[in-house]
Amino acid sequence: MQEARNVLSKSGDAELREVAKRCVSSPEKHLFVVGPSQSGKSTRLPMFLAASSGKRVIIAQPDDWVARYHAEWVQESAAAGTYSGQKRSVGYYADLTETPIDFVPDYEVNYVSYRWLYRMVVGINTPAPSTGLDNEYTRAKAAEAKEALNAKREKYGQLIGHVILDDFHAQSVTQELGYLAVHAATLGFVQPPIGFFEGTKFILMTAYPENCTFLNCFGLSENQIKQQTITITTGLAPAAHDRIEEIFMSESEEDGKLQEYHSIAVRKAREILKTNANARVLLFMDTTYSARNIARQAHLPTLDLETESGRNQMRMSLDRQVVILATPSFASRIPIRRITDVICPSTQRLPVVDRQIHREVLVDTHLAEWELTWAKNHLDRTCICPTIHYMFGSSKYPNNVKVSGARWFHHGDFVDILLGLIRLCPKNAMCDVPTPMRFEIPITEGGRAFNRLTLMPEMVGPGPHALHEMVPYYRLSDTHRIQPMLKLGDCCGLDRRQAFFLGQLEDLAVAHGVKATKQRFVSMVAVAMVVFGETPILRRKGPPRSNENVTGVFPNLQSLLHLGLYEDFTSDSWVNAVVWMDIKRRADAARVDIAVFAQENHRSKKLLVDKVPLQAAESKLRLLARMVDLDETLQDALCNGSFLVEVEKFNNTANEAAQMAVELLWTAYLDAYRYNLAYVQMEKNNAKTTAKINDISSGLGIDYAWKHVAIDLFEQARIGERSLRDGFYAIGSVLKGSRWLRNLTVMPVNIVCTITEDRDSYEGAWNLHTHLNLD
């Protein structure tokens, strides 16, 4: 991102003005801008485009907080926000806010996320929800709404001059959906948003064109893209020179004992802080999961950009030593000034489709050469000796591929892309029809993704098919679950499965006539399961053993670690939630910081309470609770731990009605994550009992992430034995690493059997693999 400067380069400003003039005067509807990092593409150029064209500019950023940062920086910078001595209006729109179908941007320069841009197009093309009535009144209201929309479209018909898709080189799923939205609008597949017109131009921008960034965009050939590309030579970027030092690990360090990346990265950070009193170290993590938590607990002065508070602090002037922790997106440059050192891994753990189990697993993927350059571009070249520390040997450097391209296309499962495309333009989402896609999805992978959406759980279904239409199409299912699912994905960025779980729970509760009080109760439990499934606070210090009860260190909570009448309604996420709420309410009562309280009162040889997710949980709980329409009182109960009183009362007075509510909660979870269903058995080998896990969908043996297992696997196996079974069913929400399940949820047999209900041949749970097969 563009950093604050007291004086903007006059020559750089002049070059950006010239680029803006070329964009405005160009007869081409689609343009491409390439310029170095910090050149002013994202901050100064949109201002010039708005001023030169006299029309409003929308600029899409990879994420919500990036859009906010850009807008606030331009607003606060007297130089950046001014054109010809006049202050221009600049603002941003947060993902958490609703997108009205008649949305019109308020500012001359409007920063949004790619997700918001996608919602702009989808919103105006989504009909109002049916009321189930068809009478003169409803028809009149519909006609009135249509007339008002047309009037507004006529009033603001030529409002938007330029739509910029920034940092397009990252080519994430979210960015691709934003691109698909504007391309579908330009092709006439869908109505454009209010303010778009024939003269609206679409500009794709990048600092890294070498990543096949513009490949096939807007149906243009490579030569056409080249002719329509405008290059910024320097703009406002600092002068380039070769003062950056690159340090690789020595061969002796590489040949030593294999260590996790975070361990050697933390050690390197300590060395840097020890030798440089003014060090500002940017430490890139290789995963968004548990490894980064170790680095946060290394007693270093840190600024954590994974948290809202950390992102808020990054705009402050920090004169002290600091280690900035960030999981790289390889999209926008992280806006931290005066970086003296960057610590960089050789890989990043990303979702990749496993060809044997046909699902995405997290795999260590080598960084491309352009991604290492992106990391290096964070260094302040005015420092005495800006240095990038590669946590791998120089012999591995040439092995890094030059490009990574659109990883979702090369390695993904296409489900999110196909779902987004069907939601956007259902009649142009199938094979053998015109499509806004720039890549052709392979038939096999596309068919598998389509099955994931149309079979179990059903997210899309056949659309109305007129006799004259030769090609059938599919659209979003007309069920109660879909709207809350879409809202959670749009506003919170929830994973598709998490959002479906919460939406399906609401759907099932309504369908089964669950009373409002119990519906609120299970909704609160579901929110807690989602939050602590993603960021658990408990970490094991050793693998599970048959003679231990790891949660025995919380004796007062034993009756709360399951829900309802039976002990097999439990999960790692719920156990984490119960422990967090207990720590929170006791810390508040003692008027002590929650992390300090946990450190002083929860010391165990078996379990570590991780202070980072411990401190971050409250804001996540409140946000998600608000998004599922829980009122402020219920939000407070979750966030101050008093909800445990309700849980205790619920379990003590559980009856058949209460148990049904719990079973619906577990059924919704199974519906969302059913393809991760596994069967767990205890296997003795050399007098040692270990868990053997079989993935039902593929029939393959898999492992589990034992560091985060909070439930007692051996006790669940004993519960199974009492029912004459040799094991129990469980679901993991994340397949981690080489086929590792994470965040286990025990699935009672009666819940599992719902998969095979209403089938032609009901065989209980014995034929599960036929219903869960993804091959």
Q: Do domains 10-231 and 245-405 have the same CATH topology?
A: yes
Beta carbons of 598 and 585 less than 8 angstroms apart: no
Task: Give the Cβ contact number of residue 616 at 10 Å.
Answer: 20
The per-residue pLDDT for 461 is 85
Confidence of residue 475 (pLDDT cuts 50, 70, 90): confident
Distance, in Å, from the CA atom of 640 to the CA atom of 595, rounded to the nearest integer, reads 14
Distance, CA of 240 to CA of 373 (rounded, Å)? 13
Helix (H) or strand (E) holding 612: helix 611-627
Task: Of 394-403, 406-415, 541-550, 672-681, give the lowest mean pLDDT range.
Answer: 394-403
Mean pLDDT of the 293-304 span = 73
**Residue 2: what pLDDT?**
42
CATH 3.40.50.300, applies to 245-405:
yes
Place of tokens 């990252």: 170
Q: Are 702 and 530 in contact (CB under 8 A)?
A: no
Is 70 exceeded by the pLDDT of residue 456?
no
pLDDT the model gives residue 761: 43
Closest residue by Cα to residue 630 from 516, 482, 465, 537: 516
Q: What is the pLDDT of residues 496-537, one digit of tens each?
A: 899 999 999 999 999 999 999 999 999 999 999 999 998 899
Between 160 and 298, name the one with better pLDDT: 160
Calpha distance 437→429 (Å, rounded): 9
95 has pLDDT over 50:
yes
What is the domain partition of the chain in residue ranges? 10-231, 245-405, 410-476, 482-658, 674-772
Q: Are 313 and 334 in contact (CB under 8 A)?
A: no
Give the whole-angstrom CA distance, residue 452 versus residue 444.
13
Q: What percent of the chain has pLDDT over 90?
A: 51
Nearest of 767, 690, 702 to residue 730 by alpha carbon = 702
pLDDT at 134: 60
Q: Of 637, 638, 666, 626, whose CA–CA distance to 487 is shortest?
A: 626
The predicted structure's pLDDT at residue 248: 93
- In the chain, the amino acid numbered 203 is I
Which pLDDT band, with edges at 50, 70 and 90, does 599 fall under?
A: confident
Tell me if 732 sits within 8 A of 676, measured CB to CB: yes
Dihedral of alpha carbons 255, 257, 261, 266, sign:
negative
**Residue that wins the pLDDT comparison between 126 and 124:** 124
Q: Evaluate whether 200 touches 117 at the Cβ level (below 8 Å).
A: no
Angle between helices 611-627 and 632-640 (to 10 degrees): 160
Residue 129: the pLDDT is: 58
Residue with tokens 């767990």: 680
Percent of the chain past pLDDT 70, that is, above it, reads 90
Give the residue, 545 or 187, on which the prediction is more confident.
Answer: 187
Please state, in angstroms and rounded to a whole number, the distance separating the CA atoms of residues 273 and 281.
8
Give the pLDDT score at 474. 86
- φ and ψ at residue 61, rounded to 5 degrees: -110, 160
pLDDT on residue 340: 95
pLDDT at 363 over 50: yes
Which of 84-88, 256-260, 553-557, 647-651 has the weakest average pLDDT?
256-260
pLDDT for residue 10 is more than 80: no
Q: Give the global pTM.
A: 0.92
177-209, pLDDT tens digit by residue?
999 999 999 999 999 999 999 999 999 999 999
pLDDT (0 to 100) of residue 132 = 53
Per DSSP, the residues of 496-551 read HHHHHHHHHHHHHHHHTT--HHHHHHHHHHHHHHHHHHHS--EEESS---TT--GG
User: How many Å apart are CA 107 and CA 104, to the nearest integer?
Assistant: 9
At residue 532, the pLDDT reads 95
pLDDT band at residue 603, thresholds of 50, 70 and 90?
Answer: confident
Evaluate if residue 219 carries a pLDDT over 90.
yes
Region 339-351: what's the mean pLDDT? 92
pLDDT of residue 315: 65
CA distance 294 to 288: 12
- As a whole number of angstroms, the longest Cα–Cα distance in the chain is 82
CATH of domain 10-231: 3.40.50.300
pLDDT at 553 over 90: no
pLDDT value of position 296: 64
Q: What are the residues facing 245 on neighbouring strands?
A: 387
Amino acid at 292: R
**% helix, strand, coil for the chain, step of 5:** 45, 15, 40
* pLDDT 10s digits, 56-94: 999 999 999 899 999 998 988 766 767 777 788 999 999
Determine contact, residues 717/728, Cβ cutoff 8 Å.
yes
Mean pLDDT of the chain: 87
- Residues 488-495 have a mean pLDDT of 88
- Pseudo-torsion of CA 645, 651, 657, 660, nearest 10°? 110
CA–CA gap between residue 4 and residue 745 (Å, rounded): 48
How far is the C-alpha of 598 from the C-alpha of 593, rounded, in Å? 9
